[in-house]
Amino acid sequence: MTKGHTDSISQSVSVELIAVLVAVTNGQPKVITVSSGDALPAGPLEESHKSLQAGLRAWVADQTGRRPGFVEQLYTFADRDRGHSEKYTRQISISYLGLTGEDGPLLASTSWRGWYGYLPWEDRRDTVPALLKDIVEPGVQRWVIATKDASARQARRERAAIAFGLDGRNWNEDLVLQRYELLFEAGLLPEAGPAGRRSLRLGSPMEADHRRILATGIARLRAKIKYNPVVFELMPPIFTLQQLQQCVEAIAGANLHTPNFRRLIEQQQLVEATGAMVADTGGRPARAYRFRAEVKEERAAVGARLPIARA
């Protein structure tokens, strides 16, 4: 498509901003929801908004009374046939991830909900959820063998094995979206429509594709937390290392090896001791820490590496 066509569109288009607003309080990762937990907060892009990010921040501030310290665009998708009018309409949905604290008042219509209520198979902290063996794996298995073609079946088997750590593979906590999509395709989620089995209780559903957007946000956050010190935004100013670890565990949905976690944090010099102690831990008092502000810029980007030739 060459230039010059770019202003030709005239179909009816509406633009919607959808937010995954995350907080973590004592080991519980949460998102802001509306409609009694049935949907993510969403609002139209308004004329007054200078940019998408600005628009999002504007109404997030309205909602939560707080301004999220970290906001990142997730994904944009377009649906046809979304409106009820006879006119052919197109909806563009732009989703964002935002990190904040749980404090600050919410409007009555909104509330915090634990995110593992929507994706219970993602929380493997203390035990591997029973529904994985009881519901997910049999359902996925049915989906695998539901294909006649042998190579297609093999492809499905491989995909399932990767997503859910089957066949001796390891569970990869980053594959939140892949798991959601597989369950959706397998018809194991009510969102999948009439084919979806409403009888299975695989977490609470959400309207439209909001649960999918939530999965996207969690996936992004789980990936990001490994190379970018965004946990910052989810922690109070002063905290103990265990609190920090529990926050990361809540996000990752897995228990961490405490000594190694500690070593990781220290060698990256993410935090500094305040000197104060926190005594009400139930055991030995813990040192209080704060984040090193400098880190924010320093470690803003480290990432993986290529075998680059020096000199």
Partner DNA sequence: TGGCATATACTCATCCGGAGAAAAACAAAT
Partner DNA sequence: ATTTGTTTTTCTCCGGATGAGTATATGCCA
Q: Contact positions toward DNA, by CB under 7 A?
A: 240-242, 257-260, 262-264, 267, 277, 279, 281-287, 305, 307-311
Whole-angstrom distance, CA of residue 175 vs CA of residue 277:
38
Provide the minimum distance between the beta carbon of 164 and its own copies in the complex, in angstroms, as a whole number: 13
Whole-angstrom distance, CA of residue 164 vs CA of residue 137:
8
What are the structure tokens assigned to 27, written together?
A: 């080991």
User: Which option in its own copies, DNA, none does residue 155 bind, with CB closer than 5 to 8 A by kind?
Assistant: its own copies
User: Which option in its own copies, DNA, none does residue 7 bind, with CB closer than 5 to 8 A by kind?
Assistant: its own copies
User: In the complex with its own copies, which residue's Cβ is closer, 48 or 199?
Assistant: 48
3-state secondary structure of 54: helix
Provide the minimum distance between the beta carbon of 72 and its own copies in the complex, in angstroms, as a whole number: 10
Left (φ > 0), alpha (ψ -120 to 50) or beta: where does 14 sit?
A: beta
Whole-angstrom distance, CA of residue 174 vs CA of residue 178:
9
CB 91, CB 85: distance < 8 Å:
no
Element (H, E) at 248: helix 241-252
User: Which option in its own copies, DNA, none does residue 194 bind, with CB closer than 5 to 8 A by kind?
Assistant: none
User: In the complex with its own copies, which residue's Cβ is closer, 162 or 286?
Assistant: 162
User: Which option in its own copies, DNA, none does residue 285 bind, with CB closer than 5 to 8 A by kind?
Assistant: DNA
User: In the complex with its own copies, which residue's Cβ is closer, 90 or 290?
Assistant: 90
Provide the minimum distance between the beta carbon of 219 and its own copies in the complex, in angstroms, as a whole number: 10
User: In the complex with its own copies, which residue's Cβ is closer, 28 or 172?
Assistant: 172
Residue 116: alpha-carbon gap to chain centroid = 10
